Amino acid sequence: MEDDEDEPPLAVAITATVDHVISQPSDTFPPVGVTVITGYLGAGKSTLVNHILKTQHGKRIAVILNEFGEEIGVERAMINEGEEGGLVEEWVELDNGCICCTVKHSLVQALEQLVQRKERLDHILLETTGLANPAPLASVLWLDDQLESAVKLDSIITVIDAKNLRHQLNLHRDSSSFPEAYLQIAFADVVILNKVDQVMADDSGNILEELEKEIRDINSLASIIRSTRCQVELSKILDCQAYDASHVAHLEALLEQNKSLTTRELHDSGVRTLCICEPKKIDLDKVRMWLEEILWDKKYGMDVYRCKGVLSIVNSDQLHTLQAVREIYEIVPARKWRKDESQLNKIVFIGKLLNEEVLYDSLRACTVDNC
């Protein structure tokens, strides 16, 4: 039987002191991408980290490992030294063992220390604790002013144990609370369905296809990668640019694939994905108020985890992109609308207790005719 988690790779202690750390202006280099790795204990997160650190990819990648349970709250940061494949190790002290909950400012400081190293980093991986909700962490990395563009959230990767996924989802399926497995899938940009070698087809059909359908029912925007011992192509999990407004073509393709999603035939209140479309141009101020009522005030009783969309704004020739993680959202112009394309508003919601009719009607109230 496969070990639940590999031990972190051996690392060599570095001799650099704080004097060797130099501050670099944020405009000297583009921000360093941060990939958040989450998943249940035993799913294979450390196996994925090992795979990334040991692969000869020519990139300098730092990994912050959340050593949950350490009394002094110490984070170990390992840095892959590129072509040589050598590892160095630094220790960054944080205030608490759980990154997602209470160490926002310490995390920001730790990340800034990493990007201010004399040797330029290409990427940072942040492995969370086994039962962590990635939403607060994503909010810190995505739009936190303290980071001053030194780092940017690249994507959230959720590692799933294919053998135990169904059990984890069924834990609270019929109750008002939901296990972390739902949240980790809902917030994911990439889902790695790991340990597929331990799942065999039975008389009822292909189990893996059924598991993928369950994942897509929760989050149809995430890409799904099947793996054994997290052996995945790095190009599929690094530099995803999932939160980059300039990466609009990928977002448009996702929305086009999901524009027919509906919850009208579903009879439960579980975590779902749905897409609403509106052909009329909308007022930017109105749509901001609409989003804030949904995300902040919970006006309609819906619990929205993620939101992505493209918007057609009145008095603007720019396609605007919408991204939201919990209460944090951003609407920015991405590019000019092309003359031959339909300027359609398309918004995908991922959440619980989603009311499709209410979302349609309330968005329609933001259109130009209703301004």
Alpha-carbon distances, residue 68 vs 2, 54, 159, 168, 288 (angstroms): 22, 23, 18, 21, 38
- pLDDT score at 225: 96
**151-161: strand order across its sheet:** 12-13, 87-93, 74-81, 60-66, 123-127, 32-39, 151-161, 190-194, 223-226
pLDDT digits (tens, 9 = 90+) for 291-305: 999 999 998 899 999
Q: How far apart are the first and last CA of the chain?
A: 62
Give me the residues of the chain with pLDDT under 70, please: 1-28, 65-110, 117-119, 129-132, 143-149, 171-179, 200-205, 246-248, 250-252, 254-255, 257-269, 370-371
pLDDT for res 126? 84
Tell me which amino acid residue 297 is.
D
What structural domains does the chain harbor?
Answer: 30-234 (3.40.50.300), 245-364 (3.30.1220.10)
For tokens 């739902």, the residue is 182
Predicted pLDDT at 183 = 85
Is the Cβ–Cβ distance between 14 and 92 less than 8 Å? no
pLDDT of residue 66: 57
Predicted local confidence at residue 46, as pLDDT: 81
Q: Is the pTM of this model over 0.95?
A: no
Q: Rounded to whole angstroms, how far apart are CA atoms 78 and 61? A: 8
214: helix, strand or coil:
helix
The model's pLDDT over 196-224, given as tens digits with 9 standing for 90+, comes to 988 865 544 488 888 998 899 889 889 99
pLDDT of residue 203: 43
* Confidence (pLDDT) at 129: 66
Residue 205 burial class via C-beta count within 10 angstroms: exposed 0-12, middle 13-18, buried 19 and up = exposed
Q: What is the pLDDT of residue 20?
A: 34
* pLDDT reported for residue 99: 29
Question: Position 272: which residue type?
Answer: R
